[in-house]
Amino acid sequence: MDFLDYAFMQRALLAAVLVGITAPAVGIYLVQRRQALMGDGIGHVAMTGVGLGFLLTWSPVWMATLVSVIGAVLMELIRWYGRTRGDIALAMLFYGGMAGGVMFINLAPTGSNANLTSYLFGSLSTVSESDVTAICVLAAFVVLVTLGLRRQLFAVSQDEEFARVTGLPVRALNLLTAITAAVTVTVAMRVVGLLLVSALMVVPVAAAQQIGRSFAATFVIAVAIGVSVTIGGTVTSYYQDVPPGATIVLLTIGAFVVLTALAAPLARRRARRTAVDPAHDPAECAIPGTREAADEVGV
């Protein structure tokens, strides 16, 4: 536990825990909406924000947040109105974001490709006190949205038409989901990096789905996996001098493999239990997709 004696590790662990909570909390809704790669696209756009932050001598985290939110809103607008040309527009947005980040950071008097690399792949030693403050504020927003509006977000993620019929503001909730995903990307970029953040938003959810029997259970398991792998990856990177982002993602994939291996025996055990006691019939799947699923969370 000697790593706790260092201020930079204290900051890194706090940031890692917040990332472990927020990334799966948003990712579970993106997976349900079949937008698992949305975080990856936002990460490309956020690079422009990082570059602008260095160019304008403003906080790269806050500038990346602003640019990411704008990019996420544009992505939603393209999804609504893009039709057949939507994929081309998204491609230009993603690649333009990456190119803009590289250009701006090289134009900045204090910027360099080395600065950009720490944001692309994460860097424990460069997490400053101002970064931690920004991460705490942004993480609080993400938790407030994903927990406070979980019933509404769940309903929209499952079936937009059903949600619209019930009177929910579907477009506003879709925009809020996109904005929350953008904020999550900027929360995570100092720990896992912009190019790897999407994995932390998706893989813990996929792992949790292997054993979760309800939306609530899957949510809790995904967050638990996220916190465990981010702490484990951060500590491992300190002792072994390996990249934190890559370590965290590999641990996450390892958790997915383990839970997938456990899923089949657990399913057989439940099947035998149900055969012996038909009255004991657990939920049919990890995250149901029917109206009964909406009733489950009180929508």
pLDDT at position 68 is: 92
pLDDT at residue 10 above 70?
A: yes
pLDDT at position 284 is: 41
pTM comes to: 0.82
Residue 206's φ and ψ, nearest 5 degrees, are -60, -40
What distance in Å separates the CA atoms of residue 67 and residue 69, rounded to the nearest whole number? 5
pLDDT at residue 116 above 90?
A: no
pLDDT at position 256 is: 93
Across residues 220-243, what is the average pLDDT? 91
What distance in Å separates the CA atoms of residue 103 and residue 106, rounded to the nearest whole number? 5
Confidence grade of residue 94 (pLDDT, cut at 50, 70, 90): confident
| Cβ proximity of 14 and 129 under 8 Å | no
pLDDT at position 278 is: 57
Residue 23's φ and ψ, nearest 5 degrees, are -60, -50
pLDDT digits (tens, 9 = 90+) for 122-155: 777 778 888 888 889 999 999 999 999 989 999 9
170 compared with 274, residue with greater pLDDT: 170
What distance in Å separates the CA atoms of residue 18 and residue 136, rounded to the nearest whole number? 7
pLDDT at residue 65 above 50?
A: yes
pLDDT at position 214 is: 86
Other beta carbons within 10 angstroms of residue 6's beta carbon come to 13
Eight-class DSSP state of 56:
T
pLDDT at position 143 is: 93
